Amino acid sequence: MGFLDALTGRRKLKAQAPDRLFAIATANVTIDTEVGMKATGKAAVVFQALATSDFQTIVSDMEEVLRATGDEMGTRIERRDDSFGYRWMILEDDDFEELIVGLNAVNSALRDGGYGDRVLCVVVQYDRALFIYNVKRGTWYPFVSAGENRRDNEAELRLRAQLERELPMEPELERWFPLWGAPL
């Protein structure tokens, strides 16, 4: 971003990183068999909602498509807003691969509608951790809660070491943001 852009209020957004969201589908086998963690069948796309009619139409259309295909495939969808002003599009499906396809559909609808910069992350829930996908960077990291507003850094680093060949892991630990009170 140049000086003139800063003065005029314009900013150039970086394009989203190549979509590596599907890496979790492959890594799920390792997470299950070698790490011993089970997917709960719940996941979410987290984004900042806008009050514009265009944005609301994209979200409504996306929900309608997911509900229609969800009836056929077994994916359930729910919308929740958190106390920070983010919308959680929560998907639930016993078939892990269908769950990831649904997450990709939500993320793609927002990106293709011109609102990819509004997506905060994708979250996949396991029985002992959340795996968080930074859409803009195309990287994953684990979040392991150790109680109220405490995280288990040792467990997170162990998961990174166990899965770095399977998942494109976020190399900068300061970007491993916790998601306290995730409504999954």
Collapsed DSSP state (helix, strand, coil) of residue 166: coil
For the chain, first and last CA: distance in Å?
37
Cβ pair 11, 5 in contact under 8 A: yes
pLDDT, average across residues 6-32: 71
At 87-115, the pLDDT tens digits run 999 999 999 999 999 999 899 888 888 88
Q: In this prediction, what percent of the chain has a pLDDT beyond 70?
A: 89
All structural domains of the chain, each given as residue ranges with its CATH number in brackets, are 18-172 (3.30.70)
- Residue 30 pairs in a beta bridge with none
pLDDT at 10: 46
* Range in 75-79, 141-145, 162-166 the model is least confident about: 75-79
pTM metric for this prediction: 0.86
Cβ pair 86, 92 in contact under 8 A: no
15 phi/psi in degrees, rounded to 5 = -70, 150
pLDDT of 13 strictly over 60: no
At 24-77, the pLDDT tens digits run 999 999 999 999 999 999 999 999 988 888 888 888 888 887 777 766 778 899
Q: What is the Cα–Cα distance from 16 to 126, expressed in whole angstroms?
A: 26
pLDDT of 142 strictly over 90: yes
Letter for the amino acid at 144? V
